[in-house]
Amino acid sequence: MKYVLLIIDGVSDEAIEALGYCTPLEKAVMPNIDYVAHNGHVGRIDTAFKGYPVESMVCIMGLLGYDARKYYPCGRASVEAIAQGIDIGKDDLAFRCNIITTDKEKKYINDFTANLISDSEAKKFISDIKLPRKDIEIYHGQSYRNILVVRNSEVKADDIKCYAPHMHIGEDINKLSISSNNNPEMAKMLNDFITSTYNLKNNEMLWLWSPSRKIAIPKFKDMTGLSGAVVCGMDFLRGIAIAADMDYEVIDGTNGYIDTDYSAKANCAIKYIENHDFILVHVNATDEEAHQHNYNGKIKAIENVDKLVLGPILKELKNKYKDEYRIAICGDHMTRCRDGKHVGEPVPFAIHGSKIHIKSNEGFNEKSVEKYTPIKSTDFISTFFNKNK
């Protein structure tokens, strides 16, 4: 049996007035997603964990069966670090490190991506940074995304409070300072460092958030009995794959944005299907478009996923594996175009394939599934693998 889980990041949304009070999922032309929904069954998944951030790593770990309350390493910086080949020791503290832009008076966050800064510009910005101590290291990742590591830190990840920049656009920066209950000296040093990176010419500066410790999770095969692979363009998912001992590769042209190489992801997934039981395919473009408040871009990203990712994968499964496959589609969390924020509302799912009884002829969108009682994300993987519906 072959299992494919397609996660469309941040795909669900609120009704938008400019779309006739429809959501992007309701407006998108998506025949392949509709096929899966109409020829299987739909429902809702509760992907949020109380007391934990509503973000992709928490939600996707749950969808893979890893309970965030047990396995989430307080943040995702350490996982992005291992994806980049950066060793994280048990006493090290890792931060996600965005390049952001502020207003001219440096009072609030204007854009958490520094206007989607290019890799070359980001590398130049990082190379000019003066680090405050020898035990602090900074590594460029993708575009605005970077990693900062404090080696042998006396402060633990869960004793540092930071603020996700995309959740606080337009808010007073002075109210978003890093804090620590047990080590205010460390917090002050980090805040002073952030301030020192400010570039008056472009209103750019670093922003530290998502402090985390080294991740430790069971191997996916030990937990499920299935060999797994991950197809993605994001470092945090490659890091999860490494930690879970799942196969992955860096796919040229995949970048997490609307111009990502969708076909390359489909081709990689089809290749992995041959020799693996379970494939996770993740597309981030929908989330990024919502963060930019671009509902038309979000619709376009959904249609790209439908045509260029799901279409070829579904064709391969139907032609080659007949009745020996299941495919599931879901979001990881809601990302609202209205304000660009993640929301912990339950997200739609659809499952189609072997021994999946057609539950309804309903669509894959927020309104179609709102009547169903949500299932917990940590239960979803066993439902997908084992239960007849």
How do the pLDDT tens digits run along the chain, 389 residues long? 999 999 999 999 999 999 999 999 999 999 999 999 999 999 999 999 999 999 999 999 999 999 999 999 999 999 999 999 999 999 999 999 999 999 988 999 999 999 999 999 999 999 999 999 999 999 998 889 999 999 999 888 989 999 999 889 999 999 999 999 999 999 999 999 999 999 988 999 999 999 999 999 999 999 999 999 999 999 899 999 999 999 999 999 998 889 999 999 999 999 999 999 999 999 999 999 999 999 999 999 999 999 999 999 999 999 999 889 999 999 999 999 999 999 999 999 999 999 887 766 789 999 999 999 999 999 999 999 975 44
Is the CB of residue 45 less than 8 Å from the CB of residue 347?
A: yes
Is the CB of residue 133 less than 8 Å from the CB of residue 70?
A: no
Map residue 365 onto helix, strand or coil: coil
Residue 316 lies in a domain: yes
Q: How many domains is the chain built from?
A: 2
Is the CB of residue 7 less than 8 Å from the CB of residue 381?
A: no
Residue 81 lies in a domain: no
Q: Which residues pair with 365 in a beta bridge?
A: none
Domain check: are 332 and 350 in the same one?
yes
Q: What is the CA radius of gyration of the chain?
A: 21
Domain check: are 297 and 321 in the same one?
yes
> Which residues neighbour 175 within 8 Å (Cβ) at sequence distance 6 or greater?
none
> Hey, what are 358's tokens?
């057609």
Angle of helix 56-63 versus helix 377-386 axis, rounded to 10:
30
**Listed residue (84, 90, 46) closest to 68, CA to CA:** 46
Domain check: are 120 and 55 in the same one?
no
Domain check: are 292 and 330 in the same one?
yes
Residue 85 lies in a domain: no
DSSP result, 246-260: -B--PPTT--SSTTS
- Helix, strand and coil content of the chain, in percent to the nearest 5, comes to 35, 25, 40
DSSP state of 199: B
Which amino acid appears at position 140 of this protein? Answer: H
**Listed residue (272, 304, 273) closest to 288, CA to CA:** 304
CA distances from 19 to 10, 305, 339 (A): 18, 20, 16
Alpha helices, H only, the chain: 24-27, 31-38, 56-63, 68-71, 77-83, 119-127, 184-196, 220-224, 235-244, 262-273, 285-291, 295-304, 311-321, 366-369, 377-386
Domain check: are 195 and 134 in the same one?
yes
Tokens 């965030």 belong to: 68
Domain boundary among 189, 212, 235: 212
We report the CATH number of the domain holding residue 21 as: 3.40.720.10
Is the CB of residue 111 less than 8 Å from the CB of residue 293?
A: no
Residue 86 lies in a domain: no
Instruction: Determine the pLDDT at residue 389.
Output: 43
Cα–Cα distance measured from residue 23 to residue 17, given in angstroms and rounded to the nearest whole number = 9
Domain check: are 232 and 154 in the same one?
no
Domain boundary among 194, 212, 230: 212
Domain check: are 227 and 363 in the same one?
yes
Full-model pTM:
0.88
Domain check: are 61 and 197 in the same one?
no
> Which residues neighbour 299 within 8 Å (Cβ) at sequence distance 6 or greater?
24, 27, 28
> Which residues neighbour 306 within 8 Å (Cβ) at sequence distance 6 or greater?
28, 29, 30, 31, 32, 33
CA distances from 97 to 113, 140, 141, 225, 295 (A): 11, 9, 9, 36, 27
- Identify the domain containing residue 27 by its residue range: 2-73+216-386
Instruction: Determine the pLDDT at residue 359.
Output: 64
**Listed residue (361, 253, 270, 357) closest to 317, CA to CA:** 270
Domain check: are 303 and 338 in the same one?
yes
> Hey, what are 266's tokens?
């489909």
Domain check: are 371 and 227 in the same one?
yes
Instruction: Determine the pLDDT at residue 144.
Output: 93
Residue 241 lies in a domain: yes
Instruction: Determine the pLDDT at residue 118.
Output: 92
Is the CB of residue 328 less than 8 Å from the CB of residue 384?
A: yes
Half-sphere exposure of 259 (CA within 13 A, CB side): 1
Domain check: are 300 and 229 in the same one?
yes
Domain check: are 356 and 258 in the same one?
yes
Q: Which residues pair with 96 in a beta bridge?
A: 147, 209
**How far is the first Cα of the chain from the last one, in angstroms, to the nearest whole number?**
16
Domain boundary among 164, 185, 212: 212
